[in-house]
Amino acid sequence: MNNEEELSITFRALTHPIRREILDLLKNGPKTTGEISEAFANISRYAVMKHLTILEEANLVLVRRKGRQRLNFLNAISLQNMADRWMSHVQSNVASSLLTLKSTIERGITQMDNEFKLDTFQIEQEVRIEAPIEKVFASLTEDINSWWAYRLCGEDSTLSFENEIGGRFIEKGKNSQALWGTITFLHAPYEIRLNGLLGMTGAVTSAYAYKLKEDREATILSLSHQASGLLDPNWHTAHEEGWKELLGTFLKNYVEQGKKYNAN
Report yes or no on 155 lying in a domain.
Answer: yes
Reported as a pLDDT band with limits 50, 70 and 90, residue 1 is: low
Task: Residue 24: give its domain's CATH number.
Answer: 1.10.10.10
Residues 241 and 128 in one domain: yes
Phi and psi, residue 122, nearest 5°: -135, 135
Span 140-167, average pLDDT: 93
Q: How many angstroms separate the CA atoms of 149 and 170, rounded? A: 14
Report yes or no on 16 lying in a domain.
Answer: yes
Q: Has residue 33 got a pLDDT over 70? A: yes
Reported as a pLDDT band with limits 50, 70 and 90, residue 2 is: low
According to the model, what pLDDT value does residue 62 have?
Answer: 86
Residues 143 and 32 in one domain: no
pTM reported for the whole predicted model: 0.59
Average pLDDT, the chain: 84
According to the model, what pLDDT value does residue 3 have?
Answer: 62
Structural domain that includes position 153: 117-257
Residues 231 and 149 in one domain: yes
Residues 173 and 238 in one domain: yes
Q: How many angstroms separate the CA atoms of 177 and 157, rounded? A: 9
Tens digits of residue pLDDT in 60-88? 888 887 778 888 888 876 666 666 555 44
Distances (CA, A) of 89 to 53, 66, 75, 177: 33, 39, 22, 24
Report yes or no on 164 lying in a domain.
Answer: yes
Write out the H or E segment, with its range, that includes residue 109: helix 102-111
Residues 22 and 66 in one domain: yes
Report yes or no on 98 lying in a domain.
Answer: no
Number of independent structural domains in the chain: 2
Reported as a pLDDT band with limits 50, 70 and 90, residue 4 is: low
The last residue of one of the domains, among 45, 63, 86, is 86
